[in-house]
Chain A
Amino acid sequence: MKVLDRLLLNGPLAVKVLTSFIRDAVEMSGTAGVVVGLSGGVDSSLSAALAVRALGPEKVHGYLLPYRTSSPESEADARLVAEHLGMPHRVIDISPMIDAYFQTAIADEKDVEPGRRGNKMARERMTILFDQAKRRSSLVLGTSNKTEILLGYSTVFGDNASSLNPLGDLYKHQVWQLSRHLELPGQVVDKAPSADLWPGQTDEGELGFSYVLADEILCLLFDLGLSPAEIIERGYDERVVQRIVRLEQQFRFKRRLMLIARLSGSAVNLDQEIPRD
């Protein structure tokens, strides 16, 4: 059995389960619906599509949150998805907030590395989504997939923050598969994934390996429990395997937020593991 075949999902069942997840979270929290940031990429498009199926389009509010250097194609794709799904959407330009910080508040700092700007933008977008969620008495719908989560390819309290995330246990390969099952616009599903951090940036270029290859290696590591040496024995590129293993270890902190120093015998989340539901 090929590794990717192990990741095949039954489309109708997956959609039924994930829409029931979203419906349950909204009903249990007594909220009016969800808000979701639309980047024009496949992840946020799939999250929005699932939410529209779960709740109806009027309860899913999309936000396009471009910075002035963001790609116009991304914004056009996000608009296309929102219109395709028939959901209300709005554009909020984050340039004034980002520029106020970097060009005014910390104008004295020289050589601000691009990663800081990217992180700041991701967090700015998430504060807007949580604010709009408060306004609409809604939950913030997450869009991070399992591949990104395991590789730590996200911004803490930025794109990896959300109230509920239907994609968190789907590898990128499975995100593509479900997006095709739901017949999302081809130009969104088929384009090269990009965090749109700078013109022409692609995830796979920045990571140094393809998502399909990462998904195979992560599936062997996590789902099947093979050791890195055993994966390399199967013919996978040693440098890629080692880089993926290193990324997974290096960014574990991003998956378990709020590290509390335990002093009492009843520390929250350690001695008192109270379910959130």
Chain B
Amino acid sequence: MFPSEAMLASAPTMAEPRSTFTLGLAQIDCRLGDVDANLEKHLAWIERAREQGVDLLVFPELSLTGYRLLHLTSRVAMRADAPALRRLAEAAGTMSVLAGFVEASERGVLHNSSVLFGGTSGGGAPFIHRKLYLPTYGLFQEERFFRPGKRLDLAPLPWGRAGVLICEDLWHPELARRLAVAGAKLLLVVSAAPGRIGASEAPANHENWEILTRATSLLDTCWVVYCNRVGWEEGSFYAGGSHVVSPGGEVLTRAPFLDEHLLVTEIDLRDSDRVRWRLPLLEDERNDIEGPA
């Protein structure tokens, strides 16, 4: 017996929410310590992205404040309900927007956070991810000025749930794994990664990032998008090279190095399912293996 035409028409399409959307990566330069100037740039880029039909716009790590703040960190800290963030939320409207800021928490400590507006958490507080791993080595001094976050959550987007990771968080691969196992088909990785150069055409540190984003998408069979900033702070540059990796580990598109750029791509979250059907790595994950002693 054949199913009726009505059943064929209704089964897959009406049951599931829309899985496709237009992603924008805002590869911007930021003014160190100047929230007003950075906020204006965010508002301008939101409008620019809206004209290109962007549904989800991602800004880099600490995009509202700049990265290398040192003792300016406390001067630009704000609560999640601060006026600058409210203006950002209003400007976002129906667009989902992820932006970075110095978060002053209720407990009187500062976090390197990214906030998502326009998600589907509904009415209440916006989704916030607090950076979990704070690099404090080489030229990095984050633990002097921030406290690490303590929770890993899934960000509710209109098309499904996503993970948010800030820079160093991606270098601890268990986080991406946990997010994927919990249901994320998309990882939003934001960073302010200081650039280095060597003999290659691409900045030397970018090559490492692309190894990581591609390996993560392969191992966790999900979309990985990477939004890095550009510009100079204290004699150190940020290389850009923001890019989108499909669930099969392929770099679909990449922004130029060193220059500001709005990178726009179509994303279908079901591509993650399609890869998982033939590559069931997450399903095969085992938690019962013993040792080493």
Contacts and interface: CB of A to CB of B under 8 A. Distances in A.
Interface of A: 5, 8-10, 12-14, 16-17, 20-21, 24-25, 28, 271-277
A17 B195 contact: yes
A5 B199 CA distance: 9
A8 B198 contact: yes
A21 B232 contact: yes
Interface of B: 32-33, 68-72, 195, 197-203, 231-235, 237, 257-258
A259 to B, nearest CB: 19
A272 B197 contact: no
A158 B284 CA distance: 66
B69 A17 contact: no
Contact of A273 (B32, B71, B197): B71
A277 B29 CA distance: 13
22 contacts: A5-B199, A10-B199, A10-B200, A10-B201, A13-B197, A13-B202, A14-B197, A16-B258, A17-B197, A20-B237, A20-B258, A21-B235, A28-B232, A272-B71, A273-B70, A274-B72, A275-B32, A275-B70, A275-B72, A275-B234, A277-B68, A277-B232
A21 B236 CA distance: 9
Contacts of B237: 17, 20-21
Contacts of B257: 13, 16
Contacts of B203: 13, 17
A17 B231 CA distance: 10
Contacts of B68: 275, 277
Most buried by B among A271, A274, A277: A277
A28 B233 CA distance: 11
Given A9-B198, A13-B202, A274-B72, 9 more contacts: A5-B199, A10-B198, A13-B200, A20-B232, A21-B235, A21-B237, A24-B232, A275-B68, A277-B234
B234 A274 contact: no
A12 B232 CA distance: 18
A249 B161 CA distance: 54
A13 B201 contact: yes
A5 B71 CA distance: 39
A164 to B, nearest CB: 8
Contacts of B232: 20-21, 24-25, 28, 277
Contacts of A9: 197-199
A273 B232 CA distance: 18
Contacts of A275: 32-33, 68-70, 72, 233-234
Given A9-B198, A10-B197, A275-B68, A24 B231 contact: yes
A24 B232 CA distance: 7
Contacts of B199: 5, 8-10
Given A20-B232, A20-B258, A21-B237, A277 B197 contact: no
Contacts of B198: 8-10
A8 B202 CA distance: 13
Nearest to A16: B258
A273 B33 CA distance: 13
Contacts of A13: 197, 200-203, 257
Contacts of A20: 232, 237, 258
A10 B195 CA distance: 14
Nearest to B200: A10
Nearest to B237: A17
A25 B236 CA distance: 12
Contacts of A12: 201
A9 B202 CA distance: 11
Contacts of A273: 70-71
Contacts of A5: 199
B83 to A, nearest CB: 24
A274 B76 CA distance: 13
A211 B178 CA distance: 51
B72 A277 contact: no
Contacts of B195: 17
A274 B233 contact: no
Contacts of A276: 234
A210 to B, nearest CB: 22
